[in-house]
A = this chain, B = another copy of it.
Amino acid sequence: MPFGMIQLSPDTAMPDFHHAYAWAAGYQYGDPTIMGFSHTHFSGSGHSDLGDVLVMPIAGDVKLDPGDATRPGSGYRSRFSHATEVEQAGYYAVTLSDYGVRAELTAGKRIGWHRYTFPKGKPAHLLLDLRPSIYDYDGKVLWSRLRVRDDGTVTGCRLTNGWARGRELCFAMRFNQPMTGRTLYNREQNVPYKGFKGPGNQPQDRNDQNGRALEAVFDFGALGKPLEVKVAISTVSADNAIANLDTDGKGWDFDARRREATAAWNKVLATIDIDGTPALKTQFYTALYHAFLSPTLSMDVNGQYRGPDHQVHQAKDANGKFDFYSTWSLWDVYRAQQPLMVLLRPDMSTDFVRSLVAAAKDSPFGILPVWAYQGLETWCMIGYHAVPVIADAYVKGVRGFDAHEALKVMVASATYKAYGDLADYMKLGYVPIDHEPEAASKTLEYAYDDWSLAQMARAMGGSATAATFMKRSTYWRNAWDPVTGFMRAKLSNGKFREPFDPTFAGYGSDYTEGNAWQYSWYVPQDVPGLIEAMGGKEKFIAKLDATFDAKVDPAHFKNVEDITGLIGWYAHGNEPSHHMAYLYDYADAPWKTQQRLKQIMDTQYAATPQGLAGNDDLGQMSAWYVFTALGFYPVAPGSDVYAIGRPFVPKAVLHLAGDKTFTITAAPFDGLHPYVGEITLDGHPLRQPFLHHGDLVAGGTLHFTMVARPPAGATAGDAR
């Protein structure tokens, strides 16, 4: 479901940390077998975790791993063929060839729905494995519980020492047909508790179990109809999971649930109607689907959720109840995925902001999430990019949250001295590399975040806060080295660190997942200032061209797995590059923006299993695609301005809040007319390649007249 709590999908592997990057979502297209179906996954993350509540249907004899096995092995895997797969938004099906079982999955907001059709006459089993995790290692499962209740409901919880340390996830599971038997295993002891005679005198017919390596097999005998399974999860308790199941998971009608999921997806995907070839539509709506996956609901039907303090909270603020969302890959999604939601679903943005503010208030530090999921913090990546998410929403008119409360936690996040060396940043105007790693990136990103904070403060009329953070937004200049022409890290003594290699990325560098060629463009809040620093528009364009046109051996970044999708130094596979193609607009060379975008769209996206150039990062890569396909992009979220590129669809109709419609057309739309000749908004020519958010949400029509060659004079600096 869009933003759903459940991400039920097949796992071909639960990789250990050596292989986690490639298997971050549990499924790799090249793998020949499926291990099971688990209920929680990240969409395109770089680091990983989850893979909770893995189940596997088994027909016939159950083959467990031999011996003591605290980590799952190959015992119950099945081969499968991609030819048997059906992948749709809200539905997945595959045939497990070793068992002859047809597996179908769909989901409700908090429920995973399964339907398993077993071969006739073979005894049906469902295996439940609480041992495996995505990004697995010995000792990752700290503790788990499993229980079969009198009414046949299976409940459990597990506490894992994962990316979010000490994460507890509970579940409740029901079947549409009665169990004929069950065995709960504690694989640390290689003894099914059925026959276990341990210390003391516990019941041998164990219907509950505690331990670090629990596995269970539920038997159903030969079935006359498919086995349906429904599973609810909760970050709070097994009882809450049951309540979620009772409320959100009524009845037994897999097909109806599938229709509901399809309808929910159709509803959000219909926010944008495009014309185009089937291939184009597949690619566009796949991207839009990705953009609607996170943040994810992380709250039970009773409004309880687990916060970053690991305590249980109630989702209620000054404006009343709200839905609490987590899964915040903020270093990524503040750029385009969250702005896309502000445009398409401002109602959702309201609850996203309220969730961020609530998380800050629940935080032991009183600061906004950095990289959070299931309510818990991982401290992954840099910056305080929840700030531009909130600022962008506010500046673009999203309301329904307590802006003063929000501003308070934004300021708290931007001034928490012990975080990312903000103490030095505030004192020196930059993060010194002898005190803090990746200092140049931090200085640059803090300065942008500060600018976005100032935009919101100013819009709210708070001139003192606005002035403070506007001043801080200029600190990018402290990273600018006019001698080398790159953004660099300084030492605390004020001198740039030597030696300096603008191509170097990786451990110990001045940058976060990047090098000087990539990070020197990161002043989205003041591109004119950057142009000036770089010596004017011509030099700026020349350096930007040099960045895109450099000859770079991909092996150069072999130690930094995130830097992918290379076009010269430009790395579309990683977020720091995402605004770069649009920067030509600011130097009066929009035709070069158009050219670079075509270059990127042609080479970095494909509706194939390996279609993305890098991690989708919870929808950011896909949101970039959606914006770019529509013809504009939020270079600096927190501003209401979009930079215009060119459409990659012939027609798009945006169905916006308040029944407003915004239509984008491009003609002639073919491979022979890759440049924009003229742009009209409601028939009036646009003089600059920029668009205001207000123009969009008011409704209207944006028409692009496409041309074969850059307009006359454009190559010397187009000043339309």
Contacts and interface: CB of A to CB of B under 8 A. Distances in A.
B237 A311 contact: yes
A312 interface: yes
A309 B418 CA distance: 41
Contact of A208 (B142, B203, B238, B309): B309
Given A143-B159, A197-B437, A312-B239, A419 B165 contact: no
A366 interface: yes
Interface in A418-459: 418-420, 437
Interface stretch (A23-31, A375-383, A593-601): A375-383
Interface in A142-178: 142-143, 145, 147, 149-150, 157, 159, 161, 165-166
Interface in A358-414: 364-367, 370-371, 377-382
A610 interface: no
A190 interface: no
A145 B203 contact: no
Interface residues of A, number: 49
Given A145-B310, A309-B208, A379 B159 contact: no
B379 A200 contact: yes
A539 interface: no
Given A311-B238, A382-B201, A207 B143 contact: no
A211 interface: yes
A207 B364 contact: yes
A207 to B, nearest CB: 5
Given A201-B381, A205-B418, A437-B197, A166 B145 contact: yes
A137 to B, nearest CB: 14
Assembly of this chain: how many copies? 2
A202 interface: yes
A417 interface: yes
A366 B201 CA distance: 16
A210 interface: yes
A204 interface: yes
Given A200-B381, A201-B381, A311-B239, A210 B364 contact: no
A380 B200 contact: yes
Contact of A159 (B159, B200, B203): B159
A252 interface: no
A203 B418 contact: yes
Contact of A143 (B142, B145, B200): B142
A500 interface: no
A149 B211 CA distance: 32
Nearest to A363: B208
Contacts of A203: 365, 367, 379, 416, 418-419
A643 B381 CA distance: 75
A545 to B, nearest CB: 33
Contact of A378 (B161, B200, B211, B370): B200
Contact of A165 (B157, B206, B211): B211
6 contacts: A147-B364, A159-B159, A199-B380, A200-B380, A201-B379, A238-B311
Given A201-B379, A203-B416, A204-B419, 9 more contacts: A142-B142, A142-B159, A145-B310, A150-B366, A157-B310, A202-B377, A203-B419, A208-B309, A238-B311
Chain A to chain B: the 4 pairs with minimum beta-carbon distance, closest first: A205-B418, A202-B379, A200-B379, A208-B364
